[in-house]
Structure 1
Amino acid sequence: MNDYDVAVVGAGPVGSSFARQMAEKGFKVGIIERKKEVGVPLQCAGLVGKKIMDTNILPEEFIVNKVYGAYLHSPSGTVLSVAKKEPAAYVLDRVAYDKFLAEKAVDAGADLLLNHRVNGIDIENGEIHVKDHGTISAKVIVGADGHGSFVSSKMNPPSKTVQAAQYLVDTGSKVFNSDYVQLHVNSDISPGFIWVIPISESRARVGLFADTSYKNLNHILNEFISNDKQFEGASVVKKYQGFIPQYDPKKKILCGRTIILGDAASQVKPTTGGGLLIGFKCANMASDVVSKALDEEDMKLLQDYPKNYMKEYKNELRMQLEVKKIFGAMTDEELDRMFMKLKKGGAESMISEYGDMDTQSTLIKEMLKSGLLISILPGMIMKGLLNLWK
């Protein structure tokens, strides 16, 4: 039996980052990973907001492109163009970055146990049963094992997810403005959307998420690429697929001496499904709480983790859930009308100034104060948004 202060299930970026912090504080840490290789296959668009630099290590070598703005396309082609003077987001080599974070955890002293599949867990007593490898015990167990988390399943009903598909596309010529991502919305996939994330002027990650089958996602992507002139003559280099957890405010993230983090805890933005930045921030929170509980030998202190999480994110995520609901109910005609009113109302400059990939409530507040949203959304929807700040 291996005995640890902390056993982390899952060597993804969030689990590895938490493990590194705990090892740096002098605790004995084990990371239990079912895969033979960290980070493979790629299951992420790899676009993260600039605030990542404030939450985790990110060497320049893992940034494949810096993005300054976005072109937002309505169903009929109205385009909102928004931009920042400084990079607003980074396109990452996620496979290499995930490996790097796991290596940093090992460098700090954590044990990385690859090809270890968990098939049983005692969340109250701190025991993890691993297929063909016996039992691992820990004072604290941390589930960071993704959307289909085995650890979370012992604390919660099955997580709700949506499917995502993505192609790596090469056009063979310089057709993309590499400073801008492109986002396309329509009622068939809303509140999901199609993204075009440039890696260079000739290569891009083109994908979407929606509440439909993977087969249908591929059909939509193929139609989109074949009907868009910028992809004329393009080739699909690689295809990817994955699942995005849906944010669940009722999810239990602490039980006994066990906590969950990242996708396992559905710590994702409801509007985009992105979770890396939130996951990193929650790893920082959890590291502070768990280290204190271990130092003081008082597991009751773990209760500070969900409290701190809700204090930090409750209002922001509630607002994003409301925005997601609004978009999900709109027809193509309503989406087109909204885009046209936003464009005429000066929304491009407002989004450029206040827009943020990760904290969207600031922009919503500014649009409410300016009266722009009042002219666009029906009264009942406006009332719902306003109630979020009461």
Structure 2
Amino acid sequence: MLDKEYDIVVVGAGPSGSMAAKVAAELGASVLVVEKKRAIGVPVACAEGISKPVLNSLMAPKPSWIATEVVGAIVTTPSGRSCKIEHPDAGYILERKMFDRDLAAMAVQAGACLLTNAEVVGLLSENHRVVGVEVSHRGNKKVVRSKVLIGADGVNSRVARWTSIYGELLPEDYHACAEYLLGRVEVDLGYTEFLAGNEVAPGGYAWIFPKSEATANVGLGISPHLTKKKPFEYLDELVEKRFPHASKLETISGSVPTSPADRLVGDAVMLVGDAARVSDPMTGAGIANGLFSAAIAGRVAARCSKEGDVSRKALSQYEKEWNKKHGKDLRYRARAREVFLKLTDDDFETIFDFVEKYFDGKIVRELRPRQLVVPLIKSSPRFLALARHLM
């Protein structure tokens, strides 16, 4: 049975929502997580890649979470040239269905209450402050009061819109993505492949993430304001060219935010994960940043609810900590994306020449954006004119 009141209500049981709930519950807060899907982790809505050092810093990964370890990357240009970069500790390709379910189970084990097949359909407000939610579950509606509401409801966050933290995303503020889990493919297991080009994925890139010797997540993200074609039109062209005999085992679509939000909190409200628009603006990678944001938010929400001050000012400690640890880098990547959108296919070929020479014979252990971006900009008068502000 649902209680009538919780310290914290979390909307969404993806990785970010479950992490926020887990952290808050471990600190003694009463937590309700509301998930509109019938089952946690399905359908999968991402390429499933995550940095190995980042995941290991957050928790010890279970073997069941890992489809394969990533030990390097392949970069492919519009003309089809490729080079391989060795990066032994790069990351993992996850089994998101298992990963998401286990994170939700950890939140429950910590003391959180999880309600699936339920939807938050409205907010309860008093004196212009959110004090609860209206939940629809199996045809019945119930009001649940809360001290803090955490929106972990994805890129099209209704919590963000309902509370006016931000409005609808514009087409230039997100990547429209399409992906297939393909079977009967020949891939280089352990190596993720990235393909750039305005005919391949305008304003974005395509990826091939092997999950086994015969299966791979193959997808792409595009900037919808740059083309009238749909993501799946580009993806079908890529699959026909690279994997003409493949079988489509799963079909996945979605959006990824590419512009960081100016605000993450309001009075009694916080946003985490894609709802907070903390995904990497360049790559679209969002799992790691979502988990980081959720861990901070869960801790701050638990403390503020216990102390009885859930004002925007009190909850802004989450914003301050996030910006100090990750916000500067996120904004840098957003500026880099603005330059990326101006690149031609000839520019991508020039960048490939630089990358091939830069990584020749090297084994990468750690790579920070500026390590590569600054010498790349200096290598070309055109890049210097386009991106001097990124140095």
The two structures share one fold, judged by TM-score above 0.5:
yes
Partner of 2:308: 297
Please tell me whether the aligned partners of residues 24 and 109 of structure 1 are also in contact (alpha carbons under 8 angstroms): yes
From 52, 55, 60, the counterpart of 2:58: 55
Partner of 1:278: 289
Q: How does 1:180-329 map to 2 (within 5 A)?
A: 180-188=191-199, 189-212=201-224, 216-228=230-242, 231-250=243-262, 252-299=263-310, 300-329=313-342
Q: Distance in 2 between matches of 1:190 and 1:351?
A: 30
Partner of 1:358: none
Displacement of 1:214 = 10
Q: Distance in 2 between matches of 1:350 and 1:324?
A: 26
Partner of 1:359: none
Secondary structure of the corresponding residue to residue 238 of structure 1: strand
Partner of 1:152: 160
In the alignment, structure 2 segments of 5+ residues that lack a partner are none
Partner of 1:126: 131
Letter in 2 for 1:241: S
In the alignment, structure 1 segments of 5+ residues that lack a partner are 356-361
Displacement of 1:135 = 0.6
Secondary structure of the corresponding residue to residue 206 of structure 1: strand
From 92, 95, 102, the counterpart of 1:93: 95
Letter in 2 for 1:144: A
Q: Distance in 1 between matches of 2:260 and 2:335?
A: 13
Query: Cα gap change, 1:367/1:31 in structure 2, threshold over 3 Å: closer, same or farther?
Result: closer
From 25, 28, 41, the counterpart of 2:27: 25
Displacement of 1:249 = 3.8
Secondary structure of the corresponding residue to residue 305 of structure 1: helix
Size of the aligned set, in residue pairs, is 371
Partner of 1:364: 370
Question: TM-score normalised to the size of structure 1?
Answer: 0.89
Partner of 1:178: 189
Secondary structure of the corresponding residue to residue 118 of structure 2: coil
Q: Distance in 1 between matches of 2:241 and 2:26?
A: 52
Letter in 2 for 1:29: V
Secondary structure of the corresponding residue to residue 260 of structure 2: coil
Secondary structure of the corresponding residue to residue 180 of structure 2: strand
Q: Distance in 1 between matches of 2:376 and 2:345?
A: 20
Q: How does 1:312-351 map to 2 (within 5 A)?
A: 312-344=325-357, 346-348=358-360
Q: Distance in 2 between matches of 1:125 and 1:311?
A: 27
Partner of 2:385: 380
Displacement of 1:181 = 0.7
Q: Distance in 2 between matches of 1:87 and 1:347?
A: 16
More strand by share: 2
Q: How does 1:50-89 map to 2 (within 5 A)?
A: 50=52, 51-84=54-87, 86-89=88-91
Query: Cα gap change, 1:275/1:349 in structure 2, threshold over 3 Å: closer, same or farther?
Result: farther
Displacement of 1:217 = 1.9
Displacement of 1:162 = 2.6
Please tell me whether the aligned partners of residues 34 and 117 of structure 1 are also in contact (alpha carbons under 8 angstroms): yes
Please tell me whether the aligned partners of residues 36 and 118 of structure 2 are also in contact (alpha carbons under 8 angstroms): yes
Displacement of 1:130 = 1.8
Deviates more, 1:199-208 or 1:158-167: 158-167
Query: Cα gap change, 1:247/1:58 in structure 2, threshold over 3 Å: closer, same or farther?
Result: farther
Letter in 1 for 2:20: F
| Superimposed CA distance per residue, residues 216-273 of structure 1 (whole angstroms, 9 cap, x where no aligned partner) | 3222222212222xx24222222111121223342x2111011111011111000111
RMSD across aligned C-alpha pairs, in angstroms? 2.1
Secondary structure of the corresponding residue to residue 42 of structure 2: coil
**Percent of residue pairs bearing the same amino acid type:** 29
| Superimposed CA distance per residue, residues 187-242 of structure 1 (whole angstroms, 9 cap, x where no aligned partner) | 242431110100111111110011238973222222212222xx242222221111
